[in-house]
Structure 1
Amino acid sequence: MTLLATRRPLLGLVAACCSSLLGGSAVVATRYAVAGLDPVALAALRYGLGAIVLGALVLLLRRARRLERRDWLAVFLLGALFFAAFPALFSASLAYTSAARGALALSTLPFLTLLCAAALGRERLTALKLAGVLLALGGVSLALISGRDMAAPDGAWRGDLLMVATALLGAVFNALARPYMAKYGALGFTAWGMLFGALLLNAIAWGEPSRQAAAALPPLAWAAIVYLGIIGAALIFYLWSLGLEHASPTQVAITVALNPVSAMTLGALLLNEPVSGALPLGLAAILLGIACANWPAPAPARP
């Protein structure tokens, strides 16, 4: 029992790290091929395809569990929060601020998650966790500020605030979703939540301009959308939910610091984008922060 309890947080950490690293590839895929599509329409396609993939897996693996009536509203609201409002607000923020400033604002997610989880009694706020979160935030700042243009475009403060609001939505989701993941499993909960979010997005996304833009997309863009649906939605968010099922909200959220580092590295390799010479140092600070936030708490002394 003790060994199982020890392995579960490690499984959660590994799943969350893989989710965040793959998230960098989703950023690159989006920039690479689908710039001509409205962001909300892109999110509708991405999460709609992801919901289909996850639903098929649930049926194939026979792991479906009927959603209890008393949980419908909570799971619907969590799905709407994370799979509709979160990507919509994320896209809206980038209409005002730069990608680098947006990534830096989003890296407040672990700190906000720690505060939300502590306020709701889901985990204890400790000095070591706080130090880990601040280290990871410092690592992201070092990598981004040294390697990207952080100059503020006109009205950038609006985008920065919207991105912090996006991070707050993610923090609330991280703090509230874990009991439902324990009840329905990471796969089942993510499939239900993504289905609800995708239905909302598709209900608002498909005006005439979006339909025309989708019809004009080249085959490479559709290939990128398929990648975003299968990897960037179904796999990434299943892994994120698996992390939340087995580790604390802060232990999972802190791994989001790996996302911009992954995006920068892949952008340099695939798109010839500039990369910071301080990236290795920033990555080292992020890894140290993740280690601090996931360091096992000392066992209470026996009386």
Structure 2
Amino acid sequence: MTETLGVLAAVLSSALGGTAVGATRYLAGTLDAVTTGAVRFAGGFLILLPLALWRGDPWPARRDWPGVAGLGLLFFGLFPVLFNAALALTTAARGALALSTLPLLTMVAAAALGVEPLTPRKSLGVAVAIGGVALALAGSLTAAPPGAWRGDLVMVAAALCMALYTVWSRPFITRSAPIPFAAAGMGVGAAALTALAVLRGGLTELAGLSSPQWLACAYLAAVCGALIFFLWAYAMGRAPPTLVAVSVAVNPVTASLFGVLLLGEPVSPALVLGLVLVLAGIAIASGGRSRKAA
């Protein structure tokens, strides 16, 4: 049951993460990649910090702080810069598909580092989920700007950052709690991004934001900063890295569904079948382990 809750939290985190692409692209013409990341994670930290203090959950031990800080710089510092930069070089569909290599990268990293054994069932589940994403986005992959492959490679590098964070984080979370762990790492990454944004003069761009753009910033901080990464940390403390990572395949599919619901884009059979395959891949990857635990 604990592992199931972890997988469900990861799926919800990834589903909400699909909206982060839209909010980020909406602000891309006004804020640079570093400033957008600073707004997202500094705001998320300011929300998570009082919540962690109010709950009184244990914070990472002093001996864990170097590792927590390093993971914070990796995931909340480097990852958003690569993520935002990739979306400036490639299309949202291609970027989403490149990010969906996360389950494969996590599975390989977890096996190489001896954290989680590689099994045929997990491999099949990951392959089915990635295939579902490719099918759902197939119609959007043909239209791409020149040199879009550079953005695809940058997004794969971002996915590698997330994979390593997912694999290395679990022992720290089990020794503390999800909210303090997420807040600590987010605070370190946000501090680095904010300092870099100040040096680059990016924070001056905030003065020219319109009311809708401020709402997008608030959404990035509250939902795409605080809530999403609390759910991700919660999931990592309760489920193996590969099962958590495979849920990211939901991200681009839900982003496409938001396009259908909010932008009036047509519902294609490929989108529906792709979503079914993504959910089937997650079920395949987690099914055998869940039965064994039961």
Q: What band does the TM-score fall into relative to the shorter chain?
A: over 0.9
The ranges of structure 1 where at least 4 consecutive aligned residues each deviate by more than 4 angstroms after the TM superposition are none
Give the structure 2 partner of residue 3 of structure 1: none
Residue segments in structure 1 that go unaligned for 5+ positions in a row: 1-6
Question: Is structure 2 residue 280 aligned with structure 1 residue 265?
Answer: no
Question: Is structure 2 residue 231 aligned with structure 1 residue 231?
Answer: no
Q: State the alpha-carbon separation in 1 of the partners of residues 233 and 209 from structure 2.
A: 32
Q: State the alpha-carbon separation in 2 of the partners of residues 232 and 252 from structure 1.
A: 17
Q: State the alpha-carbon separation in 1 of the partners of residues 148 and 53 from structure 2.
A: 45
Q: Residue 132 of structure 1 aligns to a residue in which SS? A: helix
Q: State the alpha-carbon separation in 2 of the partners of residues 172 and 15 from structure 1.
A: 19
Cα pair 1:116 1:172 within 8 Å, conserved: yes
Give the structure 2 partner of residue 63 of structure 1: 57
Match of residue 183, structure 1, among 165, 172, 175: 175
RMSD between aligned residues: 1.7
Cα pair 1:34 1:221 within 8 Å, conserved: no
The change in CA–CA distance for 1:108 and 1:180 in structure 2 (over 3 A counts) is same
Question: Is structure 2 residue 56 aligned with structure 1 residue 49?
Answer: no
Give the structure 1 partner of residue 277 of structure 2: 285
Question: Is structure 2 residue 189 aligned with structure 1 residue 197?
Answer: yes
Would you say how many aligned residue pairs link Structure 1 and Structure 2? 292
TM-superposed deviation, 1:214? 1.2
In the alignment, residue 62 of structure 1 is paired with which amino acid?
G
The change in CA–CA distance for 1:265 and 1:115 in structure 2 (over 3 A counts) is same
Q: State the alpha-carbon separation in 2 of the partners of residues 299 and 242 from structure 1.
A: 22
Cα pair 1:107 1:140 within 8 Å, conserved: yes
Q: Residue 295 of structure 1 aligns to a residue in which SS? A: helix
TM-superposed deviation, 1:194? 0.4
Give the structure 2 partner of residue 121 of structure 1: 114
Match of residue 20, structure 1, among 14, 34, 49: 14
Cα pair 2:73 2:185 within 8 Å, conserved: yes
The normalised TM-score by structure 2 is 0.94
Correspondences of 1:209-248 after superposition (within 5 Å): 210-248=202-240
Q: Which moved more, 1:158-167 or 1:34-43?
A: 34-43
In the alignment, residue 255 of structure 2 is paired with which amino acid?
A
Q: State the alpha-carbon separation in 1 of the partners of residues 200 and 155 from structure 2.
A: 28
TM-superposed deviation, 1:133? 0.2
Q: State the alpha-carbon separation in 2 of the partners of residues 74 and 184 from structure 1.
A: 13
Cα pair 1:251 1:290 within 8 Å, conserved: yes
Kindly, what percent of the aligned residue pairs are identical?
A: 49
Question: Is structure 2 residue 112 aligned with structure 1 residue 108?
Answer: no
Give the structure 2 partner of residue 168 of structure 1: 160
Correspondences of 1:82-161 after superposition (within 5 Å): 82-146=75-139, 148-161=140-153
